[in-house]
Amino acid sequence: MPTLRLLLLMAGLTGLFIAIGQLMGGHNGMLMALMLAAGMNFWAWWNSDQAVLSLYNALEVGPQQAPELYGIVQELARRGNMPMPRVYIIDDPSPNAFATGRDPEHAAVAATTGILNILNREELAGVMAHELAHVQHRDILIGTITATLAGAITMLANLAGLFSSGRSADGENAGRSWIVEIMLLVLAPLAAMMIQMAVSRSREYGADAGGAQLCGNPLWLASALHKLEIGSQRIPLSGAEENPATAHLFIVSPLSGSLMAGLFSTHPPMEERIARLQRMAHSR
């Protein structure tokens, strides 16, 4: 996805945030929402990595604690001429991994104990290469800010609906249009989730391609994705359901296979991801 489209998508999230503020409090509400959106973007810029890592109780490791994982990341970073990211392990049997941080100089990669247990060295290299490709493409900053604003829009819309209902019950806002109610309670959160999904899905394809090039063999990542899809469906990631705005950061969706999770999946179809990698391998 071109950079301009990404900027437009993020501007759309900020615009939705401001629009809800205007519906809640008129001009003053709009200004407050604008300031809040700016503050949240600034906070996400500086604290995104530690915030996400803390949610999943990630533990930083070095070459002594996790020699294979650390060595793989170190070699891939050297091959990609990148700064060495911090390496974390999440104690969870669900196989998954993600990258976070505001730029390549302040990046971190995290892997669950589950992924370390089911992948061989080549497959693990493919997964870590995928995450480092996200770092190279600066997807991690865009994804974190988008998720932060999307979550805030949903929360603000729900608060607006409660606020409106309370005022209507007191007779202070009996004339509020039901169309506005639908916009607040349904359309705004839905639009926020769709924009977040659009940002994430396109970036997954790019990270797959970049990761395949970085590790040197697209089939390593293709094999890993096949195992991860099966493993993550069998064992959902603890805490992911409580923090759905972080789902797009993971290499495969950490959410359960519910209807809503399918409707608002932040990841492209796994069959298509694997097929693209297989085509890359056959065209070499």
Residues known to be catalytic: 131
Q: Assign residue 138 a region: left if phi > 0, alpha if psi is -120 to 50, beta otherwise?
A: left
CA gap 77, 282 in Å, rounded: 26
Instruction: Give the H/E segment covering residue 236.
Output: none
3-state secondary structure at position 86? strand
Residue 7 amino acid letter: L
Q: Over the range 7-36, which residues count as b (16 or more CB within 10 Å of their CB) and which as e? A: eebbebbbebbbbbbbbbeeeebbeebbee
Residue 172 amino acid letter: E
Question: Which tokens in the block code for residue 141?
Answer: 């900053």
Contact 119, 127 (CB under 8 A): yes
Question: Which tokens in the block code for residue 251?
Answer: 């290499």
3-state secondary structure at position 240? coil
Please give the backbone phi and psi of residue 201, each rounded to the nearest 5 degrees, phi first: -60, -45
